[in-house]
A and B are shown apart, each in its own frame.
Chain A
Amino acid sequence: MLDLTPKEVSERSALRINPLKTCQPVGAMYAALGVHNCMPHSHGSQGCCSFHRMFLTRHFKDPAIASSSSFTEGASVFGGGSNLKTAIKNIFDIYDPDIIAVHTTCLSETIGDDLVTYINDAKIPEGKFVVHTNTPSYVGSHITGFSNMITGLIKYLSENTGIKNGKLALFPGFVNPGDMREMKKIMTLMGVNFTMLPDTSGVMDAPMTGTYSMYPKGGTKIQEIIDLGNCEMSLGLGELTSSMPAEFLDTKCKVPYQTLPLPIGVELTDQYVMALNRFSKNEVPYALEEERGQLVDILLDSHQYTQNKKVAIFGDPDTVLGLAQFALELGMIPKYLATGTPGKFFEEKANALFEKFDAEGCIAKGNMDLFELHQWIKNDGVDLLIGGTHGKYVAKAEDIPLVRAGFPIVDRYVHSYLPIVGYKGGMRLAEMILNTLMDRQDRDCADEDMEMIM
């Protein structure tokens, strides 16, 4: 497995090997799927759209619908205006969404298609919407595309009418439907009136009913997105992912904002709850206090199995930072933190975290790939890997157990239904980490050392 990966790390500035990121449009597609009755539309050649739908379908084991402008060579040379206009007409005629959310690809971005003009010229049925965002694949990563699409929705739709609605606008970050449900549960428990954008719960984890519905029950409603401009404030979870839309909503509609890390583990969930508490002025209910206490109880009960274990965490920047903090709360050493998404912010945040917990000998690197992470591990190993499916090859090659968390997980089921955020998500993560480490102990120990009780 991965036999050709040498131990010596060589300087690479051009060849990317085994990336820890993918391109913008898939993030935009995922965000658009979190809008109710929305058709995500990929303005480019159709291969992108098929790849992105595949990627999402494989992660969620659920349909991921999206249409494409299906560029031909002619359109690529002379512009994709008529392709987009034809697509908009056909989509409304045949698939009847309430809104089409257009994103771009490296093709339409390179030729410089002017989407604002195209959309203005398009025939849009009464009461229907077409919005767009620019998602050049050669900038940032899928995380950037996700942020761009939310920002695009706000840009087109949100309005400040001057009448406050008493709501909190919540940007959940690039997380699973299970996480979004957990974030909503906590807001509800805290008595917070909110709009979450996007909300893929009920869309990418829709139930089996025997009848297929192209637009499932979930998703943020258009009216709610419009009304985002009247929110009291916005809270962006996942600072790298959610800052852009939060800032933009402030710029456009004067909605003040705060950003926080993804609420993974005890302290980061505390921060989320405290922010909600400040917003709602409601007391934290016992139900949450109980969950928190249970999680801390679990960490104390099981500490000996996790403490001082070295872990490499890889994936999307906000997720990795949240998981790193939780690993530190478990007494683990987050030796390597790696993300493929470019940006200095990730390393700054990670280093601050290492400092806060006095964690020595830990390295964080953005704009990095799994090939290099594997090389680091070859040189100085870890006890555990936490990340997405691609890590399983490194796990097998180096015989290190892997806990799957983040994107993409394309080789396991159920994961997207359940949270890793909140106290409840912390319990689930703790269980996964403990089970993995303890299974390993059972597997590796001598027969005479097998423990009945652990």
Chain B
Amino acid sequence: MNSREKVLDKYSSKIYKNRKEHVIEIENGEPNIIAADTRAIPGILTNRGCCYAGCKGVVLGPLKDVVQIVHGPIGCSYYTWGTRRHKSKHDETTKNFSEYCFSTDMQETDIVFGGEKKLKKAIKEAVEIFNPACIMIASTCPVGLIGDDIHAVAAEAEELYGIKVVAFSCEGYKGVSQSGGHHIANNGLMKNIIGTGDADHVKYSINLLGEYNIGGDGWEIGRVLKRIGYNIVSVMTGDGSYAEMKNAHIADLNLVQCHRSINYIAEMLKTKYGTEWLKVNFIGLEGIKQSLRDVAAFFNDPDLTAKTEAVIADEEDEIKVTMSEFKTKLEGKTAAVYVGGSRTHHYINLLKSLGVEVVLGGYEFAHRDDYEGRQILPLKMDADSKNIESITVEKDPAKFRTFHTPERIQELKDAGLPIESYEGLWADISPDAMITDDFNHFETEEFIKLLKPDIFFSGIKDKYVVQRSGIPSRQLHSYDYSGPYAGFKGAVNFARDVTLAVNTPAWELVQAPWKTEPTLEGSIGGME
């Protein structure tokens, strides 16, 4: 019996039937179909969060100049207060609300009599105290149930105060995971904010989509892009702002880092404004180099291309020795990587460059296209996700602009440029890896025992479970309060942190001496 069967075998027949589609082994030559984006099994200890977390916590949260009022009881707002490390900086023109947590703090009377009145009042108070350029309202579980019309409240407030007010119906029970929330956030930003600015087009302009500046990732990526000569119009949404996002439609090209959370906007920008998008990966040297070369190939400007190669050579040169030193300490190790919807794939090349192979991995809430590649689209929606609004946008005749002719785009695609395309996790994962979608506590524990990875990368809920099992554990959501991990310098930070985790002296102290050494009487004490 292989490890997959050993683990699945412990389930009851009903769960077995469900989970066998989500737990698969990668094998060469097989189509490797996986079940994903389906509802979590009650009581199984899924690692997933909710729609609200995907919308407010992930996509909207980093927008620094926006007062984000969470309409609900206090918890939802409290738990997204400073907990995801999307860094942001003040500047002269942009207010930064990142250190604040805003909520309507709904009480029993608001549940009984409705919370619209309180929400209106909260907006008024926010306007009076902070005078923000934009307010966003995120709903939580009870809001949908009691029927508060947050969109009407937003429209009224927008009129009343002359500022942008956008509501997001991201109740926690919608969809099956954070993923529904990404989609809802994308729709709201596209409908209400993107394209409302009037900035002029600049040369070599790009948007960075699906990059949330965790631990400064976006800044490190931006540093290199700016060095080459690109103009970054907006970042969605790490250190991003309402002010910048309004003008996202003027860019020549969209770079998509996290496909899962932002591909909706990427697609809609293409339809509405004609902007092409390119899948990039700024994590790991191979990923970065390929991405920078792809972007250069898109612009096809000799100066940019030359500068790209010069910057790559220079940046690589700076970190080469350090990286190879870390490699000697990590070479031959195996890793498990369980993250949300994109990092599992993004870190493979970085780990590989350090001599580490991913033997076990998966996502919380990715869809089949993130595993298998976009060529399998469109996917059939199941009953649990059908209720996530899917919007269609029309070509904007005034602002539609294409950088290349359709023929040229086809040429670039034929030349291998990932325009509007993403190959998914299958493209890079090891042929022997074990994959579990919507991984749960049981499977995590069981696969650890069977596959014994040397390092485990996941989130805070797993971290100490894994560590107590004797396996070094690093968080790939929060980076364990370190970072950046993206970009050239990020690769060094990552390699350093992993090396430290593996070589912590305390690992040698786990076993008390009396558990293994003979006692004075000469017998083995305490062994179980």
Contact = CB atoms under 8 A, between A and B. Distances in A.
Asked if A and B are interacting partners, one says yes
Interface of A: 1-4, 6, 10, 12-19, 21-23, 25-26, 41, 44-48, 50-55, 57-58, 61-76, 83-84, 86-91, 93-95, 105-107, 110-111, 136-139, 141, 206, 208-214, 340, 371, 390, 393
Contacts, number: 254
Given A10-B128, A14-B118, A138-B106, A50 B53 contact: yes
Given A48-B50, A340-B74, 11 more contacts: A46-B40, A46-B46, A47-B48, A53-B461, A58-B83, A68-B43, A70-B40, A83-B42, A110-B145, A136-B108, A209-B468
Contacts of A86: 41-43
A52 B76 CA distance: 10
Interface string B421-460: 0000000000000000000011001000000000000001
B387 A51 contact: no
Contact of A88 (B40, B43, B175, B384): B43
The 9 closest A-B pairs by CB, nearest first: A47-B50, A87-B43, A23-B75, A14-B121, A87-B42, A16-B105, A137-B73, A90-B43, A51-B79
Nearest to A411: B481
A14 B119 contact: yes
Contacts of B129: 6, 10, 12, 15
A54 B45 contact: no
Contacts of A93: 11-12, 15
A393 to B, nearest CB: 6
A138 B107 contact: yes
A265 B424 CA distance: 59
B129 to A, nearest CB: 6
Contact of A106 (B73, B125, B465): B73
25 contacts: A4-B97, A10-B125, A13-B125, A14-B124, A15-B69, A16-B103, A16-B122, A23-B75, A41-B43, A44-B141, A47-B172, A53-B461, A57-B464, A58-B460, A67-B44, A70-B48, A83-B42, A88-B43, A91-B43, A94-B43, A106-B141, A110-B142, A110-B145, A136-B108, A139-B108
Interface string B219-263: 000000000000000000000000000000000000000000000
A254 to B, nearest CB: 32
Contact of B74 (A23, A44, A89): A23
Contacts of A6: 129
B448 to A, nearest CB: 8
Nearest to A108: B141
A138 B145 contact: no
A212 B462 CA distance: 11
A44 B49 CA distance: 12
Interface string B360-403: 00000000000000000000000110010000000000000000
Interface of B: 10-12, 15, 39-53, 69, 72-79, 81-83, 90, 95-97, 99-108, 110-111, 118-122, 124-126, 128-130, 140-142, 144-146, 171-176, 383-384, 387, 441-442, 445, 460-461, 463-470, 510-511
A51 B75 contact: yes
A157 to B, nearest CB: 21
A390 B101 CA distance: 11
A338 B461 CA distance: 30
Q: Which of B47, B101, B466 gathers the greatest number of chain A CB atoms within 10 Å? A: B101
A168 B500 CA distance: 48
Given A23-B75, A47-B52, A139-B107, A54 B121 contact: no
Contacts of B384: 72-74
B61 to A, nearest CB: 14
Contacts of B11: 93-94
Contact of A95 (B141, B442, B469): B442
B96 to A, nearest CB: 8
A304 to B, nearest CB: 36
Nearest to B528: A211
Q: Which of A16, A75, A393 gathers the greatest number of chain B CB atoms within 10 Å? A: A16
B75 A48 contact: yes
A15 B122 contact: yes
A63 B464 contact: yes
A432 B162 CA distance: 50
Contact of B122 (A14, A71, A210): A14
A67 to B, nearest CB: 5
B445 A212 contact: yes
Nearest to B126: A15
A299 B311 CA distance: 62
B53 A47 contact: yes
A373 to B, nearest CB: 14
A21 B74 contact: yes
A17 B46 contact: no
Contact of A90 (B10, B15, B74, B172): B15
Contacts of B142: 106-107, 110, 138
Contacts of B468: 63, 206, 208-213
Nearest to A54: B460
A45 B125 contact: no
A1 to B, nearest CB: 7
Contacts of B105: 16, 19
A62 B466 CA distance: 11
B102 A15 contact: yes
B125 A1 contact: no
Contacts of B12: 89-90, 93
Nearest to A25: B75
Contact of B79 (A13, A54, A139): A54
Contact of A211 (B45, B78, B120, B470): B470
Q: Which of A6, A72, A76, A88 gathers the greatest number of chain B CB atoms within 10 Å? A: A72
B509 to A, nearest CB: 9
Contacts of B470: 210-211
A139 to B, nearest CB: 5
A74 B383 contact: yes
B111 A51 contact: no
B238 to A, nearest CB: 20
A22 B77 CA distance: 9
Q: Which of A2, A54, A55 gathers the greatest number of chain B CB atoms within 10 Å? A: A54
A65 B174 contact: no
A342 to B, nearest CB: 8
B322 to A, nearest CB: 28
Contacts of A94: 10-11, 15, 43-44, 442
A396 to B, nearest CB: 10
B111 A46 contact: no
Nearest to B48: A46
B445 A90 contact: no
Given A17-B100, A50-B48, A110-B141, A23 B42 contact: no
B95 A4 contact: yes
Contacts of B387: 73
Contacts of B39: 70, 72
Contacts of B383: 74
A84 B467 CA distance: 31
B75 A22 contact: yes
Nearest to B465: A63
Contacts of A58: 83, 460
A9 B153 CA distance: 26
B177 to A, nearest CB: 8
A15 B95 CA distance: 19
B173 A107 contact: yes
A51 B95 CA distance: 28
B99 A1 contact: yes
A68 B460 CA distance: 17
Given A18-B81, A46-B50, A105-B141, A65 B511 contact: no
Q: Which of A73, A110, A111, A209 gathers the greatest number of chain B CB atoms within 10 Å? A: A73
A59 to B, nearest CB: 11
Given A22-B74, A87-B42, A110-B145, A45 B173 contact: yes
B146 to A, nearest CB: 6
B395 to A, nearest CB: 33
B104 A15 contact: yes
B44 A393 contact: no
A210 B510 contact: yes
